[in-house]
Structure 1
C-alpha cells in the first residue's frame, strides 16, 4: 500500500470506517499478504525501499539499518510486523507490555481527530500480556529487525509490585529483546518512590537481561518541570538512553492521545533539554510528532539519535519511513563531494545507445509499415506479393500495417525511456533506474521468441536483437548504486498530495498496458484475431487460412511481437512511476511526456487512417490517454515546478 494508492484509493475508504476496524483490516491485509509465498517480494516491489549503508548506525549499542523505528502502539498484536519491516524501518518497538493481558476500558473505542492528525486510544495499557507476546515471538517474526520492548506495570500497581512484574518480564523476554524501554513514570507514584523504583529496575536488568541496553521511557504527559529536575541529576546518566514518548495521557484516566499539532513541539523541547543535560553519550529516541520528513530532520537536529513513527503513518501514509530515510540520507551527503560520474563507455552509455537504436529501429519500422508494409522476405514467406493481397482483400494490408505501426510507435517509446533512464538514472547510480531497465530489457529480449510461435522467423528482428544484446551485456559492467543528490520532498503539502494522484494514474496506466501486452501476446500465439479484427477485414479466420496457409502465421508474428514490446514498455513505465516519482525530478516528467507521445500517436492515428474505428476496440486506448494526460497534469508541479524553484534558489545563492 504505497502512498499513491493510500491517498488516492484506500485512505478515503478507510477513514469512513471506525478507526479500530480500519486499523485491523489494514494490518490483517498486509500481514496476510506477507505470509503468502512471494508476499514480501510484492511489498518490496511496490515500495522499492533500498536502505543505504550510510544510514546504518547504533541505538544504545544495538546495530540498526536506519534511524527510523516503528512505534509499538500502531500494531499492538504484531499482526503485520513482517510486512511493515519491508517499509524502511530500522527497529520495531513492542509495547506497552504488561505481565498480564489488559484488554481495554469498557466499550470505549479508538478515535481519529482528522483535523488535528491525532489518534485517541481509550486505554494506554492495552496489550496481549507478556506470555502471549513471548509465544508470538518464539514462533519467529519473519524479519531481522531488532525489537525494543517497552515494559509497563499493571494499572494501579505499587512500586514494589511493579518491580516483581518487571523482573518476570525481563526474564521471559530476554531471548527476544534487543533492548528495553522502561515505562512507568506516569503511574502517579511519589517522586522518591519512583526514583527508587527506577534504580532497582536497573539492578534487576543486569541480572535478568545482562548486556541488554535499558532506556528510560518518558511519556509526553510527564511534567516539564519534573523532567528538567530528573535530567539535571546523575541518575538519568546511568541509563543507556531515554525515549521521548508519543502518548499524552488525558485527564486522570487511562485514555491517551497520540499526534496532534502540539506533539512535535513538545518532543523538540524535550529532546533539546535532554541532549543538553546528557551530552553526546546517551541515546535519545524521539517517538512523537513525526508526520512528514521535515519533522524527523528537526528532531534529529535537536539531538535525537532515532525517531519512531506512529500517527504519522496513519495520516501521511505507509511511504513515510522511506521518505524520512531519503531526507536523512540527503542531509548526510549534501555537504560531501559528489563521486565522479562513470564514463560514457563504462556502462550507462551502452544503454543510451541501445535506446537510440530502438528509436532508429522504430522510425524505420514506421516508414516501412506506412508504405510497402511488407518486406521482400515477408512476400517470399507468403509466396504472394502485396499487390495480390490487395486484390484479394483491400483491408488486409491496412490491418497488417496497423499492427506494424503500433509496434513501431512502441519501439520508439521504449527507446526514449531507455535513453532517459540511462542518462539520468544509471549515470547517477540510481538503483531503481537500474532495476527498471534490466527488468524491461529482460522482458523485451525474451519476447523475441514469441515470433517463433507460429513457425515464422523474422531475420530483421533477429539481426536487431543480435546488435542490441551486446549493448545490454556491456551495460552490466561495473554498475554501482549511489544515493540521489536531488533534494527530496520534506512536507505533506498540497503539491505532494496532488502528485500522489498523478503517480496513481501512471501506475494504473503501466499495469493496464502490461495486461494489454500480455493479452495481445496470448492472442497472437493462439486465436490471433479478436472479433472486431475479423469484422474490419470482412473475412473469417478459416477463409484467410484457406486462401494462404502462411498468412495467419505472419500476422501472428506481428501481434505477438507487438504484445511483447508493449509489455516491455509497460514494465519501464510502471517501475518509473512506482519508484522514480520524487520531488524535482523534472527529467522523469519529460520522459513520461515524450515516451507516451509516439505510442499513443501510433495507436490512434493509424486506426483512424485505415478506418478501423470501432469504439469498443479503441476504448482501452481512450482510457489510457486519459490516464496519461491526467498523470502529467497532476505531477507537473511536484516534478517540474519544484525543480525550477530549486534551480532558481541555487542561482540566487551563487
Structure 2
C-alpha cells in the first residue's frame, strides 16, 4: 500500500506533507471507528523475544522513532500503534521558537536522503510537558524519550540553564533524556560537543538528576562528523560523568558521494538517510570497542532495511531509531526489522 501512495506524497513539499500525514493519522486513531484497533492489527508487533531492558528502562521492542518527527508530542499514541517500541519527542527548547525560514526540508530521492535545517522549531517545553502529563495520566505504557536543546538566541555560555529548564520541566513525564548538542541547524550548537563545555553541561545535569528521589537516564546525541580523537573524548566524557549512554548519530554536514543535483545537495542543513548508513555504524562500532561496551548505544542513521538495523546492533547498538528510513520505506519497515531481529537473536 505505501509503495502506491508514496509517489503521491513525494510530489508535495516535504514539510507540508509531513504534517498532512501525521494529522490524518492522529484523526484516524482518535476519531475513526475502530481506528486504533485497525492500526494495531495492521502494524503492532506481538513477537516474543523482542523485549529488552536498557539503562533501566523496559522496551517492548528495540525499534524506536527518532527525535524530530514529533517535536511537540502531538502524535505519540498514533505513532506508537504503528509498532514503535519507543518514541523520542523534541528537540524541545525552553521557549517556543519558529525555527529557520522555509523551505527548510529537501528530499534527495536519488540518494534516499533528506536535508533539513528546521532549527529546533517547537512550541516550547511547557506545552510539551503538559501534553505528556495528560498522556501519562491515561496510564500509558509508551516509553517516551525527551530530546532537549537550547534556544537559538541563548548564547553558549548560558546554554546550561536552557538544558536545566527543559530537564526540570520534563523530569516527571519522560522515561529518559537526550542532550542534543549535535544538530547543525542551530548556530554554534556543535561547539558544545567540545570536551570542556560538554563536561560542564553533563555534570550539571547529573547533579540535578541525583537530587531527585529517582533519576532518569541521560544520553548524549553526537554528530557523525566527529574525528576519532573527538570520539575518544566522548568515551571519556560518558565514563567520567556517568551518563547512561550515547545516541549515534545525528545528521551529517558531509556531502560526499551524493547523486542529487548540485543545487539540492548544497542546501544548508543536516543530511540524513542512506548516505549516513555506513558512517553511523562506524561510529557505533568505534564507541563500543573503544569503551569495551561500557555503556549502551542507540543506533540511528540510514536504517532503510532490517539488515541496516542488524548491522548497527552487531556493531554495538542496544536499540535503534528510525526517521528518514521510516519516510522512504513506510511503516511496514518496523515489523520487518523486528521479525529479522528475532531470527538473529
TM range, smaller chain: 0.7 to 0.9
Q: Of 165, 169, 173, which residue of structure 2 is paired with 1:168?
A: 165
Please report how far the alpha carbon of residue 13 of structure 1 lies from its aligned counterpart in structure 2 after TM superposition: 0.9
After superposition, residues 518-537 of structure 1 pair within 5 angstroms as none
Note closer, same or farther for the CA distance 1:51–1:257 as it changes in structure 2 (3 Å cut): same
Note closer, same or farther for the CA distance 1:246–1:233 as it changes in structure 2 (3 Å cut): closer
Note closer, same or farther for the CA distance 1:214–1:95 as it changes in structure 2 (3 Å cut): same
Note closer, same or farther for the CA distance 1:224–1:66 as it changes in structure 2 (3 Å cut): same
Aligned equivalent of 1:306: 319
Between structures 1 and 2, the one with greater strand share: 2
Runs of 5+ in structure 2 lacking a partner?
A: 183-188, 256-266
Aligned length: 324
Contact 1:232-1:277 within 8 A present in 2 as well? no
After superposition, residues 437-516 of structure 1 pair within 5 angstroms as none
Note closer, same or farther for the CA distance 1:220–1:166 as it changes in structure 2 (3 Å cut): same
Aligned equivalent of 2:176: 179
Contact 1:167-1:205 within 8 A present in 2 as well? no
Aligned equivalent of 1:7: 3
Deviations 1:34-64, CA, capped at 9 Å, x for gaps = 10242111112233x3322311001211000
Contact 1:286-1:306 within 8 A present in 2 as well? yes
Q: Of 2, 7, 17, which residue of structure 2 is paired with 1:22?
A: 17
Deviations 1:159-212, CA, capped at 9 Å, x for gaps = 542221222211211111101111225432453233222222221222258421
SS across alignment from 1:243? strand
Aligned equivalent of 1:125: 120
SS across alignment from 2:191? coil
- Indicate yes or no: 2:235 matched with 1:231: yes
Q: What is the RMSD computed on CA atoms of the aligned residues?
A: 2.3
Aligned equivalent of 2:298: 285
Please report how far the alpha carbon of residue 222 of structure 1 lies from its aligned counterpart in structure 2 after TM superposition: 3.6
Note closer, same or farther for the CA distance 1:158–1:223 as it changes in structure 2 (3 Å cut): farther
**Cα distance in 2 between the residues matched to 1:282 and 1:301:** 15
Note closer, same or farther for the CA distance 1:163–1:105 as it changes in structure 2 (3 Å cut): same
Q: Of 181, 186, 191, which residue of structure 2 is paired with 1:188?
A: 191
**Cα distance in 2 between the residues matched to 1:113 and 1:208:** 45
- Indicate yes or no: 2:342 matched with 1:329: yes
Contact 2:105-2:114 within 8 A present in 1 as well? yes
Please report how far the alpha carbon of residue 69 of structure 1 lies from its aligned counterpart in structure 2 after TM superposition: 0.6
Contact 2:72-2:92 within 8 A present in 1 as well? no
Q: Of 88, 95, 113, which residue of structure 2 is paired with 1:93?
A: 88
Runs of 5+ in structure 1 lacking a partner?
A: 333-654
Aligned equivalent of 1:147: 144
Aligned equivalent of 1:247: 251
After superposition, residues 567-578 of structure 1 pair within 5 angstroms as none
Please report how far the alpha carbon of residue 155 of structure 1 lies from its aligned counterpart in structure 2 after TM superposition: 2.3
Contact 2:72-2:90 within 8 A present in 1 as well? no
Aligned equivalent of 2:263: none
Aligned equivalent of 1:114: 109
**Cα distance in 2 between the residues matched to 1:220 and 1:83:** 30
**Cα distance in 2 between the residues matched to 1:159 and 1:300:** 34
Aligned equivalent of 1:257: 271
Contact 1:147-1:178 within 8 A present in 2 as well? yes
Between structures 1 and 2, the one with greater helix share: 1
Please report how far the alpha carbon of residue 326 of structure 1 lies from its aligned counterpart in structure 2 after TM superposition: 0.4
SS across alignment from 2:135? coil
Contact 1:100-1:129 within 8 A present in 2 as well? yes
**Cα distance in 2 between the residues matched to 1:113 and 1:176:** 36
Note closer, same or farther for the CA distance 1:254–1:104 as it changes in structure 2 (3 Å cut): farther
Note closer, same or farther for the CA distance 1:257–1:128 as it changes in structure 2 (3 Å cut): farther
**Cα distance in 1 between the residues matched to 2:253 and 2:212:** 30
Q: Quick check: 210-219 or 190-199, which moved more?
A: 190-199
Please report how far the alpha carbon of residue 7 of structure 1 lies from its aligned counterpart in structure 2 after TM superposition: 0.3
**Cα distance in 1 between the residues matched to 2:35 and 2:83:** 16
**Cα distance in 2 between the residues matched to 1:203 and 1:195:** 12
Larger of the two Rg values belongs to structure: 1
**Cα distance in 2 between the residues matched to 1:44 and 1:197:** 40
Q: Quick check: 93-102 or 318-327, which moved more?
A: 93-102
Between 1 and 2, higher relative CO (CA 8 Å, sep ≥ 6) is seen in 2
Note closer, same or farther for the CA distance 1:280–1:228 as it changes in structure 2 (3 Å cut): closer
Contact 2:145-2:177 within 8 A present in 1 as well? yes
Aligned equivalent of 1:351: none
